[in-house]
Amino acid sequence: MYSGHIFSASFWRSYWVALRRSSRDQRDRKNAIRLTFAIILFFGYFGGLIGFFALNGAAGPFLVGASLSASIILFGWLSNRRDEKEAEREDLANVDLALRSRLAEDGFAIATLLTRASSEAMLKQKELPPGVQVITRRVQLDKLKSMNKWETLPTEVRDLLLLPDGHWSQEQINSTYSRFEVLRCLRWTLHLDDSLTPLTSLPKMNYQTAQSIFEYPESMLDGARLRPTWDIRVERNQANTFLSRCLAEAIGRGVISASNVEAQAWASDVNDSARRPEVRDLLAGIHTISEVDDATLRYLGSLSLLRCRCLHLLLDLQLEAPDWEAWASICFPTAPSAEEDEETRESITL
């Protein structure tokens, strides 16, 4: 299955997955053939029209038709933009600006922490040439103080930022890993990103998204938009479905233990259903959940669990009495965490 028109990213992503999986799944092979035919038909049709008019010297009528088509497309685009602007105005009217400001401040603090963590990770992995000095700590502190943001940072973040360059332990670096997903959810919730990367796309931990916010803090701090609760709820439910599938697979493989007999029976039913020929199992990249290795399964399980928790808390912050203590616990490290899997650390993009 695929979604979106031929000019959309989702169409070409679906096409790429279908091509990569065509050798192992008959459904993907058929899907790849259909999509290839659609691409050939689309470009062949319009290419043929251009060639026909060019060869027959009918450039005038062709240009008139092309202009008319472009006008229709432009009218549709402008109409959609008008509807989007109207929806945006309605959203802005319902935004709790104090809540939005608090979330933006927390997002900036997480980005600051991850920016420093990227420098510390680099120092752990690489030996600097003689005479080269790292000044990440000094640059960050100077910028934060010039912005009057130093005192607004949580104590846990300030304690880490005050450590000299190269003095973070591996455990302290590891303790920041889960904040990538929190920042990803915040970027989407605060409208820095148009969409939340699907878990089926195997989201990676990328320091560049944090560094861009630290370098250009106004992108997060100066906005006024906040995702409505119904959008957050949809993403939360999708993450919960993905988490359930990962959990069932992990129990079935013995990666984790079932809490009781009922949980073991539930996992067996889910795994049997996912492996039926007529059922499409959830994808993780170009592999299904049943095909990924144990390390990837653990990574996806922890990622989807964190996304569920983060989005659930973001919903509660808008709908119920805010539990800022629970929110802070997923945003900022309070103690060094257990060492992450080697495969998880390698998934970070420096």
CA distance 155 to 158: 5
Q: Are residues 48 and 114 in the same domain?
A: no
Q: Are residues 220 and 142 in the same domain?
A: yes
Question: Is it the case that residue 282 has pLDDT exceeding 60?
Answer: yes
Beta strands in the chain (DSSP E): 205-206, 283-284, 287-288, 348-349
Segment 106-134 shows an average pLDDT of 92
Q: Which domain holds residue 124?
A: 97-177+204-225
Q: Does residue 219 sit within a domain?
A: yes
Q: Does residue 299 sit within a domain?
A: no
**Last residue in a domain, options 93, 123, 151:** 93
Q: Does residue 253 sit within a domain?
A: no
pLDDT in tens, 295-331: 999 999 999 999 999 999 999 999 877 889 999 999 9
Q: Are residues 151 and 115 in the same domain?
A: yes
**Last residue in a domain, options 62, 93, 124:** 93
pLDDT in tens, 173-231: 999 999 999 999 999 999 999 999 999 999 988 899 999 999 999 999 998 899 999 99
Q: Does residue 340 sit within a domain?
A: no
When divided into structural domains, the chain yields a total of 2
Q: Does residue 87 sit within a domain?
A: yes
Question: Is it the case that residue 132 has pLDDT exceeding 90?
Answer: no
Question: Is it the case that residue 350 has pLDDT exceeding 50?
Answer: no
Collect all residues with Cβ–Cβ distance below 8 Å to 301 and sequence separation of at least 6.
243, 246, 247, 250
Q: Are residues 101 and 218 in the same domain?
A: yes
Q: Does residue 261 sit within a domain?
A: no
Residue 343 · residue 202 · CB < 8 Å: no
pLDDT in tens, 72-90: 666 665 666 665 566 656 5
Q: Are residues 101 and 221 in the same domain?
A: yes
Q: Does residue 54 sit within a domain?
A: yes
CA atoms within 13 A on the CB side of 87: 9
Question: Is it the case that residue 345 has pLDDT exceeding 90?
Answer: no
Q: Are residues 128 and 210 in the same domain?
A: yes
- Quick one: pLDDT at residue 200? 93
Q: Does residue 259 sit within a domain?
A: no
Q: Are residues 22 and 87 in the same domain?
A: yes
pTM as predicted? 0.76
**Last residue in a domain, options 93, 126, 154:** 93
Q: Are residues 120 and 153 in the same domain?
A: yes
Q: Are residues 89 and 101 in the same domain?
A: no
Q: Are residues 221 and 101 in the same domain?
A: yes
Q: Which residue has the higher pLDDT, 186 or 1?
A: 186
- Quick one: pLDDT at residue 7? 63
Residue 242 · residue 270 · CB < 8 Å: no
- Quick one: pLDDT at residue 334? 65
Q: Are residues 134 and 217 in the same domain?
A: yes
Q: Are residues 122 and 56 in the same domain?
A: no
